[in-house]
Structure 1
Amino acid sequence: MQAQPLNAADFSLIEDTLLKHGNDHSVLNPSELDGYFTALVSGPKHVEIEAWFPAIWGGQHPDWESPEEARQFFDLCVRHINTLARQLAEEPHAFVPRCEQTEHQGHTVTLAEEWCFGYLRGVQVANWPPLPTPQAELLGAISDCAEQDNFELPADLDVASHQQQVAELAPAVRALHDYWLSQRAPTLHAPQIKAP
């Protein structure tokens, strides 16, 4: 069960739980969580559950209504992080960041700010060391995208340029994953996380 990809109902439950228990310092939605997990499985070393799970909530565990509620959310997280780890290691070209979309000036626009913000959260939690210049530039492109304001897109937004920037995220993520994969010990390739 921990290897089964999440479906739409699972992501909806994740969103409801993040909204219910979130705060000013927590992950806000499934898009940000997807970016967060992507960075965790892409980095130089395995990150323990004890580090990454509280960081979803800004360092504090939620006041769960029941052990079942906590277990259900945790199990969904484990399934999704394992799916991402496996996909990036075995089918990297199938990887697509889970971004939200909106309508703007008659165009469908993919919004990546929150996904990128989650990715940077993952980089911080995983404590990535400094990168060589080519990889640092890739991470810089993700960081630049995280600083966009998706709440009020400007009326004169260059949609084509904006969407090109979003389209460049997946190749950047794959390249960063491949870089760190080449630096890891063989036993750390695509680790699978097991729920305790």
Structure 2
Amino acid sequence: MHDQPLAPADFESIEDILLKYGDDHSVLNLAELDGYFAALVSSPAQVDVAEWFPAIWGGQNPDWESADEAKQFIDLCVRHMNAIATQLAVNAQGFKARFEETEHQNQPLTLAEEWCFGYIRGAAVGNWPQLPAEQAEQLEKISWCAEQDNFELPADLDVGLHQQRVSAIEPAARALHDYWLAKR
């Protein structure tokens, strides 16, 4: 039950709950939650639900409409996190981040800012220690994108450079997962 991948309707439920209870201090969308979970399952040590769940909400759990609503959301989160963990452990090359997509100057454009911001949030909750230079460089590929503001893309955006940087994020996440997995 807790290792079944989510269906599209499950992802919609997660997104609805994030919108319903989210604020400026919480995870706001599925892309950010996906990055958050990718970092948590890649952490040097397992992070307890009592730590990672309130951090989704900026440290304070929502005033749930019902216990069933809270349970359903937690169950969906655990299933999604387990699916990411399994993917990274069993077939890391097949790992795909849930980046957002948009169009810029009539061209498709991948936006990774929210995913990367979630990843950095997850690394902080996972209490990652200082990394060796090689792994710090991998984390920098992710944190660089987390600092970008994709709400208003500049007209002169270098789309090629942007896509090149975005394409480095998934390999960086895989490398960081492999590094910490070898240390556990």
TM-score interval for Structure 1 and Structure 2 normalised by the shorter chain: over 0.9
Deviates more, 1:111-120 or 1:8-17: 8-17
- Equivalent residue, structure 2, for 1:111: 111
Alignment partner of 2:36: what SS?
helix
Paired letter, 1:55: A
User: For 1:65-105, what per-residue CA distance to the aligned partner results, in whole angstroms no more than 9, with x for missing partners?
Assistant: 01110011110000000001111000101101101101110
The runs of 4+ residues in structure 1 deviating greater than 2 Å are none
Paired letter, 2:13: L
- Equivalent residue, structure 1, for 2:74: 74
Q: How many angstroms apart in 1 are the aligned matches of 2:7 and 2:17?
A: 16
User: 1:28-177 maps to which residues of 2 (within 5 A)?
Assistant: 28-177=28-177
Q: How many angstroms apart in 2 are the aligned matches of 1:148 and 1:108?
A: 18
What's the offset of the Cα at 1:7? 1.6
What's the offset of the Cα at 1:114? 0.5
Q: How many angstroms apart in 2 are the aligned matches of 1:11 and 1:164?
A: 28
Paired letter, 1:29: N
Q: How many angstroms apart in 2 are the aligned matches of 1:43 and 1:11?
A: 24
Q: RMSD across aligned C-alpha pairs, in angstroms?
A: 0.6
Alignment partner of 1:27: what SS?
coil
Q: How many angstroms apart in 2 are the aligned matches of 1:6 and 1:90?
A: 18
What's the offset of the Cα at 1:36? 0.2
Paired letter, 1:155: A
Paired letter, 2:28: L
What's the offset of the Cα at 1:141? 1.2
Gaps of 5+ in 2: none
Alignment partner of 1:101: what SS?
strand
Q: How many angstroms apart in 1 are the aligned matches of 2:26 and 2:149?
A: 18
User: For 1:12-62, what per-residue CA distance to the aligned partner results, in whole angstroms no more than 9, with x for missing partners?
Assistant: 111110010011100000000000000000010000000000000000010
What's the offset of the Cα at 1:107? 0.5
What's the offset of the Cα at 1:156? 1.0
- Equivalent residue, structure 1, for 2:26: 26
Identity among equivalent positions (%) equals: 66
Paired letter, 1:56: I
Q: How many angstroms apart in 2 are the aligned matches of 1:183 and 1:130?
A: 14
Q: How many angstroms apart in 1 are the aligned matches of 2:63 and 2:123?
A: 26
Q: How many angstroms apart in 2 are the aligned matches of 1:141 and 1:19?
A: 28
